[in-house]
Structure 1
Amino acid sequence: MLVLSRRAGEKIVIGDDVTVTVLEVRGDVVRVGIDAPRSVRVHREEVHRELQAANQAAARAAASDEAAAALSSALRPRAPRA
């Protein structure tokens, strides 16, 4: 992990497209501004964790639905052959 010290108004550049600016430091709270292209998703860690959990739950539900459809298809009676 890279650890940097910055003062209010100073910036950190990540790659060619992302800039993080320290807006304010008040006690143990730091406000930052993040300038990034719309294609780069930026979330607070707790929101990111919630999104991951929701995506995993949706993937499990989709896999379960697919498994149920496959089982249903396999159990469906077939017409006798002539």
Structure 2
Amino acid sequence: MLVISRKKGESLLIGDDIEITVEKIDTSSVKISIKAPKEKVILRKEVYEKVKDENSNAIATTKDILKILK
């Protein structure tokens, strides 16, 4: 894991095509902007985890229904 310090207005690059810039710093949060190709999917981790959990629950439910139908 890379830990890096940035000030407001400073950026970091991921590869050649993703740029993350610090836009605003408050006492309890940081606002960032992300410039990336449209084909890159960018999700907040908590949203990704929620969708992943919901998908797992849906699959389990489908398997349970198929067991009942047999």
- Root-mean-square deviation over aligned CA pairs: 1.8
Q: Secondary structure at the match of 1:61?
A: helix
TM-score by length of 2: 0.78
- Segments of structure 2 that go 5 or more residues without pairing to the other structure are none
* Larger RCO (CA within 8 A; separation ≥ 6): 2
Q: Secondary structure at the match of 1:40?
A: coil
Q: Equivalent residue for 1:16? A: 16
**Structure 1: which 5+ residue stretches go unaligned?**
72-82
* 3-state SS, counterpart of residue 42 of structure 1: coil
Identity of aligned residues (%): 31
What is the number of residues matched between the two proteins? 70
Larger-Rg structure: 1
